[in-house]
Every structure is written in structure tokens, then in C-alpha cells.
Structure 1
């Protein structure tokens, strides 16, 4: 598996995770256990696995609970804005900037988490078609009996991109005629791993987090898609919320993000 998608330096990963735990413990020292809070985080499914681990570490160190609610990038944004009790939003940087510009999000802080790349998956024990060129991708999509991808109507970043790809390849109708629209990338990977789809299209981070053996590779050439995720938090947020945001975007957590198929900012 390409090194840029999954860092295999396990000892280093453990050291950095320990550093993250130390940071969480340090943060806990100035957060009062008597004021334990429950915070809601709406997030794109592409960062599901690392956020779950970071939240567990934070809860163990501080006593504060982080409720994680995952969806597509667009749906997570919509649900966050509609929920007056929401604390954090993790979605694409482009969506956050647009929401800040038009006033749907205001008086907040945006911190970069990392980037992921759109790609394709197949059942680990099934056919492994080549997709290294646009021509190979076209042939693979035409040959696959069943294809799953996240519903563009629900704000799926890769789903929207995939519609453009098959349009440019001239196979939109053929692909859509045998496609299943999944709720998000997590569901896309469930369909692939359960043998209900021969090809799945989603973020590489979601593929790696589900089963790294399923990864075929990124979109080839001109169809490459890199998406940067970021965390948004109101500037007037409680100290415990700021502490969690600090942990998520800290240098100590970058190795964990890499191990889950994300590329942290340099």
C-alpha cells in the first residue's frame, strides 16, 4: 500500500499517541471534573476512526464526554447549523469558508485537521481491476456489475466528484443504472465488504479505516481529488471545548491521523 496513504512506522505511532495522551492529561489539569460536560461534534465520515479514538482518550483524561455524530460533509454541516446545542463541526475546509463568508457560521475559529484523497475500493478477495489511467478506470466501471458511492444529494464530496468523472468519461447512464447510493462513505464500505458492491467510490481515509486491503487506489490523473478537512469552533466556546479542539489539531495527533489515511498539514 502506498506510503502516502498509510504510515507503517508503528513504534513511532505509539510514541506520538502517548504524547497525545500526555497533552490530554495536561489539559485535564486545568479543567474541573466537577463541571463535566457533554459536547456534540458533527463530522464528515472521512475522519470517523481517528476522531473516535481521540474522543475516547479525551474523555478518559478529562471526564468530559464528546458525542460524535457522523454524516456526509454537507449533511454534517446542515445538522450542526440546525442544532443549537452543537459544539464542534468537522467538514471540508471549503464548506467552512463558504459558511463563514455567507454568515451561516460566525465568530468562530477554523483549524485544519488534514487532507484525504478520493479513490476506489473493491472486496479484498474479489476482482482487483486496474484504475491507474482514465482508460483503465472507464473499463473497470463498465465491467463492474454493482457500484456504490455516497449520495451527492446529501452533500457527499466524493459523490459529487464521481458524477463529474463518469460524465467526462461518457458513461454516466451506464454507471448510474447499476449504482447504489449510500448514505455516506461508511455505508459505501459496508456494501463493498459485505459483497453487495463490486466497486466502491469514497474517500481513501474511509477505505483504510474500514479495511486497508480493499483499497484499489486514488482517482487517476486529471480526476484526482484531494479534500482538506477542518474543525470549526465558536470563539466563545467553553474551556473544555477549546481543549478538545486543541487536542484534535495538535502535532501530537498527526501520526494517528496518518495511520488512518489522512495527510495532516505540514
Structure 2
């Protein structure tokens, strides 16, 4: 009898478990994978994660792609989806603020001030496509602020998204590149090679918004996930990967500029 009761409990739990499809900007791959593991372990629900460029996800969602939620690398695309009535306005919040780093696998190539860009001691500089990826747009802003846009342009190689940009540098196909700080951290330190953490004043804040899409509006599992992703535990995981998280007001809403 006890065995049958235990089986009934397991089957009941399985019946309540849902699978959510979530589109996630590629810069947020590692933290989202950890967040998903933690959420799945505690809830029994499953997250089917797709990683890629925010621009491509926006186009797919606009044409009816069946995602429940979207974690963008910027604020503009979730806001536009709300405007198009493809997402729930009340669900939108800033889940992270990204940071940019100039990185090379070579231990001595990138100095602490990023002077390597001025010296031009490199063949290829990897950037995410600024038309598709917010981190690519931020990288171009940095070069403009340093008055190095034209000087370095002939050396640019574009990744479709920030993950491909990172791979260009990691594989040695580019000497250095502008990547997300989160991609090169391990235990809150740069894992290998050399890096310059780009000062925040050289580019506009990379505030990253998430939004519930129409398909997920009535999904109880997604409401659970939305509560978890804004919890103190989730924010600590996000910060461990080199992001900052915005403060919230008394109602739990973030105070980042929209």
C-alpha cells in the first residue's frame, strides 16, 4: 500500500510538471543554465532554453515563434514586443546589467588600460554584430569614445552574437575581442589570458530586460519561474557571473531606467 501511495504522489507531481521554452540572449548562457538547474530541482518543471542573438529572437517572436518568455540583451526589444501586444507589459523587468571586457587568450597581450587598441598590435578584433547584438553596439561605442573606430575598422571580424564573438577569440581566429565580462570569469576572476574590463562610462548601460510572451501569460509554471528569477538567491547567482542587478522598490519592481 505504501508503495502505491508513493507512486501516486510521484505521478501527481509529474502531471503538474510543465516545460517552458525560453529564448535567452547568448551573453547570459552560463548564468541561465545554472538558474535553470536550480529552478528545475526545486519546482519539477523543465526549461527548454534557446540561446542566440537578441535581434534574431525578436524577429522570430514577431513571426510567431512559440516561446513562453524572452531574456533580451537590451531593453528596446522587450519594450517593442509589449508595444506590438506580443508580450505582457506588467511582466517586464531588468534582470541584469552587463559589462564589457576586451579579452585575449594570450596572457600578455591585453594591458590593464586597454592601450593595445591604440598600439594596433593585433591582426583581428572580434566584435558582435552591432546591428543584432547590444554588446556589439556597446563595443562600437567604446571605440568611438576612444577615437579608434576608423583606426581599427579594417581589423574587425563580426560574430553573429556575443557567443560566436567569444569563440573567435577562444579559438585563436581573432587576437582579441570585445566580449561580455561574464564569459571570461570563473570564481569571479578572469579564468585565462589577459583582459581589460572596459570602464562603464565608455558605453551606454547594457540593461537587459526579460518579458513574458503571450504564449506564457497563463502558464502557472512561468509565474513560478518569474518569482524565482527575481529572488535574492537568483540575483546572487547573476552577480557571481559578473553582472550587476538593479535595486528594487518596495513592490519588488526594479528601479532601472526604462
* TM-score interval, smaller chain: 0.7 to 0.9
- Does the C-alpha gap of structure 1 residues 161 and 252 become closer, same or farther in structure 2, counting only changes over 3 Å? closer
Aligned partner of 1:43 in structure 2 is 24
Residue 169 of structure 1, CA deviation: 4.4
Higher helix share: 1
- Does the C-alpha gap of structure 1 residues 46 and 207 become closer, same or farther in structure 2, counting only changes over 3 Å? same
Normalising by structure 1, we get a TM-score of: 0.75
What do the CA deviations read for 1:154-193 (whole angstroms, capped 9, x no partner)? Answer: x111212333443454543442322221122122222222
Larger-gyration structure (1/2): 2
Distance (Å, rounded) in 2 between the aligned partners of 1:175 and 1:123: 19
Residue 243 of structure 1, CA deviation: 0.7
What do the CA deviations read for 1:7-51 (whole angstroms, capped 9, x no partner)? Answer: xxxxxxxxxxxxxxxxxxxxxxxx942133221111112211111
Q: Calculate the aligned-residue CA RMSD, in Å.
A: 2.8
Distance (Å, rounded) in 1 between the aligned partners of 2:22 and 2:193: 28
Which of 151, 154, 165 matches 1:188? 165
Q: Is the contact between residue 93 and residue 209 of structure 2 (CA under 8 Å) also seen in structure 1?
A: yes
What do the CA deviations read for 1:123-172 (whole angstroms, capped 9, x no partner)? Answer: 1534123435xxx36415x222111111123x111212333443454543
Unmatched tracts of structure 2, length 5 or more: 1-11, 248-258
Q: Is the contact between residue 112 and residue 249 of structure 1 (CA under 8 Å) also seen in structure 2?
A: no
Which of 140, 147, 157 matches 2:125? 147
Unmatched tracts of structure 1, length 5 or more: 1-30
Aligned length: 232
Q: Is the contact between residue 24 and residue 52 of structure 2 (CA under 8 Å) also seen in structure 1?
A: yes
Superposed, 1:192-231 pairs within 5 Å as 192-208=169-185, 212-214=191-193, 216-220=195-199, 222-231=201-210
Q: Is the contact between residue 42 and residue 70 of structure 1 (CA under 8 Å) also seen in structure 2?
A: yes
Q: Is the contact between residue 231 and residue 245 of structure 1 (CA under 8 Å) also seen in structure 2?
A: no
Corresponding position: 1:233 with 2:215: no
